[in-house]
Structure formats: C-alpha cells, structure tokens
A and B are shown apart, each in its own frame.
Chain A
Amino acid sequence: MADASFGFSTLQMGELAIGKHVHYILSVEKKKDSFESVVMDHLRMNGAYWGLTTLDLLGKLDSVNADEVLSWIMACQHESGGFSGNIGHDPHILYTLSAVQVLALFNKLDVLDIDKVATYITGLQNEDGSFSGDMWGEVDTRFSYIAICCLSILRCLDKINVEKAVSYILSCKNLDGGFGCTPGGESHAGQIFCCVGALAITGSLHHVDKDLLGWWLCERQVKSGGLNGRPEKLPDVCYSWWVLSSLIMIDRVHWIDKEKLVKFILDCQDLENGGISDRPDDAVDVFHTYFGVAGLSLLEYPGLKAVDPAYALPVDVVNRIFFGR
C-alpha cells in the first residue's frame, strides 16, 4: 500500500535536513579525540556501514574517498577470511557483514576473495544449524541473519546448510510470534528483524504467522508515533528500522500509523549540527542517524533512495548484485 501523500504533511512538521546530516556524518570521522570515539573504535567497521549507507541513501556517497575506505577495509581482513572491526582487532561475523555491505555500496565486491570470506562464514555454522559469531562460540540469531545475508550478497548461499539454519531460527520463535537470540529468549524487535530477514532471504517466510507477529510488532507504536523494541520500553528511532522493515517483509506495514512515525523521526533531528538521536532532544550519533534515515526511506519519504528491508542496502545496490543492474 504505497503512501505518496507526504508532500503536504512534511511541510507542516519540518523536513529532513539532508545537508546537515551529510555534514554531520562526514564530521564524525574527524572527531577522533573523545572518550566516546575511543571506546567505539573496535566497531569502526559497523560505523562505516552506518555512515556510508546513510550517505548513499541521501545521494551523497561520492563525497567520500572510496579508495581510502577500500584499503582500510581490506587491512581489516584476517587470514581466516573474516573481518575485524578495525585494524589489529580480532575478526567477527558482525564486522564481516559490514565490510561486505560497504564493498557492495561502492560496487567493489570484486576485490574480495569470495571463497575465503565464504569459508570463514561457513565454518561458523554449528551442528544444529545455528551460527557462532566467531571462534569463541557465542550463538545468536543475529549471527544467523548475518551469515545468510552475507553469503547471499556473495551469491554462495548454497555453501551452508540452509534448511538447518532455517529450522534453528524457527526454534527461537516465541508464542507471541516474535523471536529471541536463542531458543526461549525474549522477543526483541532487533532479533525479529534478523530472523524475519533471514527467512525472507531464504524464501522461508511461510513459516511465520504474519498476523500474530504483525500484531506484536504494531503494538510497538506508542502515542508519540515512535516505535519501541519491547513492551513497556521508550520509543527509539532505531526501531523505526527494526520494526518497520519486519512489518514490510511480512506485509503488515499498514497496521501502524506511518505519518506519526515520520513526524517522530523528524523530531529527533539536530537541526543545528545535523544527525539524528534516539528520542527528541537527546544527543545524536551515527547509529541513530542511519536508522532514522533508513526508516524514512522505508516510509517512502521524498528525496531518499529506496532501501531494501531484508539486505539493509539501497535497492539499486541490491539490484546491481542480483540482476547486474
């Protein structure tokens, strides 16, 4: 159900400060000398994905030097084939997906030794179909999504046991229709995105009770229009992505009030210095800026590239991967 009626209403509620946000993202890289940036140093690869995907959705990916980014990414790859969050850190599946996604943004997947990356990911699948995040064995449905998404982008999903991977994800389904980290874990919108995304990519969405899950998901919308990730929690811009993309994948997005959500996200902008925060008047960060912009893109906000709800990449990038443009 496409909703093309934002034209008039956005004028009333203020608009997306595209220029400010671009400036904010470019400036984050330069501010390296704060405690916050030092403690985030180990997940710089995720940061790169959030920032660069936002720039691409805003149509400004060309404002960064692609070669610099590429050589830094490749310096983060390990012998095992996995990528680390930054140079000198240990590899993890979390950063491997981000690295592959960023390379996809720049249309540079060909610099990868695809077999090597695929071998790393395949090696993390366990007997029960689940995936470990790295050699130390922590299991989480997030890692199932990452493995499936990453291998799908690399066009070698057949290297893992998809059937078992799917059945493990389904074993994490709760009676409320949602999904948790491991069997019996509490439903959480972030985990739901991962599970639904993995099921969507593997063509297994028929295993989901869409009405039941859709009910839980649309109950995440609170009065302000924002979405929370679990019952009784405050709304947070990042759930504009996790909840919204899941609702779209199961075809139930018309169950929430989209216009109110758009307003909520726009209210979380820092109109002076750019960037988007979790809630109105909080401090901004790249993570929430990405999820705010991606959420608006899912809501078909004018002036933004469309984003794919399962791959979390711009639709034109996904099309390039699968249909050669």
Chain B
Amino acid sequence: MDLLNQLETILESDPLIDEVGFIHPSQFVTLHKECGESGNLSADGDFGSTNMKFWNRDHKLGISTEVLLPLCKAAKSAFMNVMKQYKMLSNLSDSKSEDENAMYVSSLSCQSFEDEVMKHSRALLLLSSDFGTAWNARKLVVLKEQQLSMFTDELLLSALVLSYSPKSEQAWSHRRWVIKMIAGKHLNLQQILAKESELVEKIAERSKMNYRAWNHRCWLVSYMTREQMLHELKRSRDWAGLHVADNSCFHYRRRLMLRILENKQEGDDFSYGVENYHVMKEELDLNEVLVKRYIGREALWLHRRFLSLMWIQHLTTMCGISCHSEQKTGIDNEINLFLDKELCLLDSCSVIQDTEFEDFKAQAMYSAIYFLWLVKQIPQLRKIEMHEKLKVIVTSFTSSPSMSSRLGSDYQIQPWSGVSLPFIKSFATWIGDFITAAVGVVLASMDKVVRTKLTGCRPYGSSVSANNVDC
C-alpha cells in the first residue's frame, strides 16, 4: 500500500482521531517500547506497533517526519488531479442537464468524485494546514450536499488540523464559515458558541498568546447574549490569573466588558447599571491583586490602563447625567479617591526591592508609565490638583526609610533602561519632569515645575530639555 493510501485508510478506519503530530523516527522506537510494556503489541495491526511511518492509538495519529515530504507531494498531486476532474464534471452537469439518464450517470460519478475530493483534501490538510484551495474544495462539496453531519465533520477536521497547527489561519477561518452556515438553521447558536469558546481555551493552553485563536474567541462575542458574556467573563477569570502575560486573554476580557457596558438598551436600565458597576469594580480589584502578585508584567499594566479609562469615563458619564451639584461633588470625590488609590499603587510599585532581578525595575517602569498614560488620556486628571498629590508622593519618597534604596547607586537610570531614550525624550519636558518626580528625585524647583507642566499641559511638546530627561 502506498503512503497516501495508508494514511487515508487510517483516517477512514478511525474517524474519531482528535490529535495529529509529526514524530521523529527515534520517537517511534520509544512509542513501541511503551506499547510493548502495556502488552498490546498486535492489537492495532499494521498501524500500531510494527509500522514505522504511522502511529495510531487512542484516537491519536503520529506521522513520521521521514515520510512527510513524499506523503505531502502525493496528497497534493492526488488532490489537484481529482479536483480538476471534479470541476470539469460539475461544469458539464451545469451546462447540459436535459437528458435524465445522463444526469443520473453524471450525478453518480459526481458523488464518487466528491468522495475522492473529501478524502484527498483531508489527507493534504493534515500535512499542509494552510492549503486554502483544499479548504475551499471542501466548502464547495459541503455546500452542495447541505447535510448537517457534513458541516459538523468540517468542525472536527478543522479542530484536528488545529491540534498540530494551532495558528492555522485557514483552519480558523473555515470554522467561522461553517458556523455561519449552520447557525440558527440546524443547531442552537448558544451551544455552538460555548463549544467554540472551550476549544479556544484548550488550544490557548498549549499555544501561548495565539492571536488567531483569541481572535476567533473575540469574534464569537458579537453573537453572545448578555448572560453569555457575563458567564464568559467569569469563566475566563481564573485562566487570566494563571496566564498573566497573555495579553490576548486580557483583550478578550476587554472585549467582553465593552460589549457588556454598551448593551443597556434592553431590559432594566437600573439593574444593568449596578451590574456594570460591579463588572468594572471586580476587574479593577482583580487586576490590582495580580499586579502586586506578578511583578513587572506588561500585559497587566496595559490592562489597567484600559480599566482606569473605563472607570473614569463611567464616573464622568454619571457626572454628566446628574444635574444636582451635590451628586457632582460626590462623583468628583469618587474620582479623587480613585486617583489617590492609583497614586498609592504607583508609590508601592516603584520600590525596587531587589536590584538583582529585572522584574522590580520593570514593575517600577510600567507603573510610572501607566500613570503618565493616565495623565495624558484622561483630561479630568489635569484639572485636579495633581501637583498637590505629587508633592505628597515626593514627600513620602524623601521621608521613607527605604529612600536610600530608591535613590541608591544609579537608580535614576535603572527603572527606565528598558525604554529607549528617544521614547522618553519625545514625551517632552513635562513627562521628563514627571518621571523625575515619580521616581522621587527631589528637584529644588519641583513644586513650580510640576504645576506648570500639569496645568499648562502641552502634551508631547517639541522642546526637550536635556537636563530633565538625562536621568
């Protein structure tokens, strides 16, 4: 039996294969040994223990890296050949279909060609996951047949391909096409969404920061109900806590939150308002816990930028709606309170406890940049008497017993060493001063400088004073 035939026979005989991998010949030996120890030597016949090209047990398929090239060539040529014939035939049956007998014959052979197309394209896609023409051929056939089982088979094949090639753009795109085809018509959309979300989580576990996988999950959100979105937010909470460097997961949570916050038309405005408040508050709290537990993680700090922005926007909107001056003062107070908390966070994060490890320096840097970003993004911040707050920080810096560790050696440079100088320079004088202030270098003119910069705030001003940024 030739190689392609062997592979296709395995795929035919075990339709439940859920994982494919390419194995080095030396790994085959190990696998055989393990198999021998478990005493099932002959159980799988040709494709089990004796075969050195394919491995198929427990619905897992291994293909020897030694046969990849000839196998891939054979699959490609078999697929391209049958596709050519199939297209010719469907053109024929499209153009002349009067004769019933001829129609019967051509539909019969059409059917067998379709089977061949499906067989060869499947083998090919297990070797070359982004072979778009093979995915397209399957779409053609499935679309023609319109059977639910064929659509769901496509989801299985795509998942199988993703098991060895989790970033395959074509495999993800094929899924979306299938889902759009069957959603509503055949299956319950909510169930599909839940299953898809699970699949992404499973793949994301093995393939870190997989943009395509998370993009798929973000795509699902537009089809979700409010309840589902809230459920997803809850469900991905623990995962996020265990994968704090995975920006994609946090982006997914941002996407969910934005959708949750924007949908308030239907239903009870008030209860949604309360729920939304809690969604934001909980995420802010979770993020703070994570920021303090996992030192120096960029993704966590970027997430905090988003959360603070949302939070202040939320408070400001409430302020805009309310016309009572009492309430306005209350909200102003809330914003002030929030900023005080953020300044405390900044204060606690800019302590470099250990100069051996980069993490603390990174933490100090991210926290200070986070604050700068906030000042730039949120106009309200500039109206508030920021210089007073900064003065408090600076005072605490100078009076703190750990001050020597903060100002020790070349501290002034260290927290910023990850950021290139032009980056800092271009944030101009006011940011340069702010950095200086935030890391606790007390300038004699501190009070005046900060007040000028933060109230007159000319973001990214063009003139750069070397004195201020050459820290």
Contact = CB atoms under 8 A, between A and B. Distances in A.
**Interface on chain B toward A: helix, strand, loop, or mixed SS?**
helix
Interface in B212-263: 214-215, 218-219, 221-222, 245-248, 251-252, 254-255, 258-259
A230 B249 CA distance: 13
Contacts of B176: 138
Given A90-B133, A136-B136, A230-B209, A257 B128 contact: no
A182 B214 CA distance: 12
Contacts of A136: 136, 139, 173, 177
A111 interface: no
Nearest to B426: A255
Interface stretch (A183-191, A270-278, A280-288): A183-191
A180 interface: yes
Contacts of A185: 215, 218-219
B373 interface: yes
A184 B218 contact: yes
A231 B305 CA distance: 13
Contacts of A230: 209, 211, 247-248
B218 A186 contact: yes
Contacts of B280: none
Contacts of B177: 136-138
A33 B246 CA distance: 38
B215 A39 contact: no
B132 A89 contact: yes
B411 interface: no
B467 interface: no
B333 to A, nearest CB: 25
A285 to B, nearest CB: 15
A231 B247 contact: yes
A134 B376 CA distance: 42
A257 B422 contact: yes
A185 B214 CA distance: 9
Interface string A79-100: 0000011001110100000000
Interface stretch (B52-60, B66-74, B379-387, B400-408): B66-74
A256 interface: yes
Contacts of B302: 176, 231
Contact of B420 (A212, A232, A260): A260
B298 interface: yes
A35 interface: yes
A184 B211 contact: no
B342 interface: no
A187 B305 CA distance: 15
B420 A221 contact: yes
A181 B215 contact: yes
A186 B303 CA distance: 12
Contacts of B84: 88
A218 B425 CA distance: 12
B211 A38 contact: no
Interface string A31-69: 001110011011100000000000000000000000000
Given A136-B136, A231-B302, A260-B420, A188 B69 contact: no
Counting chain B residues whose Cβ lies within 8 A of the other chain, the interface size class is 35 or more
B80 interface: yes
B357 interface: no
B122 interface: no
Contacts of B113: none
A244 B459 CA distance: 22
A42 B306 CA distance: 40
B297 interface: yes
B298 A231 contact: yes
Interface string B35-68: 0000000000000000000000000000000001
B133 A176 contact: no
A65 to B, nearest CB: 26
Contact of B222 (A34, A42, A184, A211): A184
B330 interface: no
A186 B211 contact: yes
B309 A175 contact: yes
Contacts of A212: 377
Contacts of B376: 211, 215
B76 interface: yes
B423 interface: yes
Nearest to A94: B132
Contacts of A138: 173, 176-177
B344 interface: no
B211 A232 contact: no
Contact of A256 (B211, B306, B422): B422
B116 to A, nearest CB: 17
B258 A184 contact: yes
Interface string B72-93: 1100100010001000000000
Contacts of A92: 132
Contact of A233 (B209, B369, B426): B209
The 5 closest A-B pairs by CB, nearest first: A257-B420, A186-B251, A39-B128, A231-B247, A90-B133
27 contacts: A35-B68, A38-B69, A38-B76, A38-B128, A39-B130, A89-B133, A136-B173, A137-B180, A138-B173, A176-B305, A182-B215, A182-B219, A185-B215, A186-B214, A187-B251, A211-B459, A219-B369, A230-B211, A230-B247, A231-B299, A232-B209, A232-B245, A232-B247, A232-B298, A232-B299, A255-B426, A257-B420
Given A176-B305, A232-B298, A255-B423, 16 more contacts: A39-B127, A39-B131, A42-B130, A43-B130, A89-B132, A137-B177, A175-B254, A176-B306, A180-B215, A184-B259, A185-B218, A230-B211, A230-B248, A231-B302, A256-B420, A256-B423
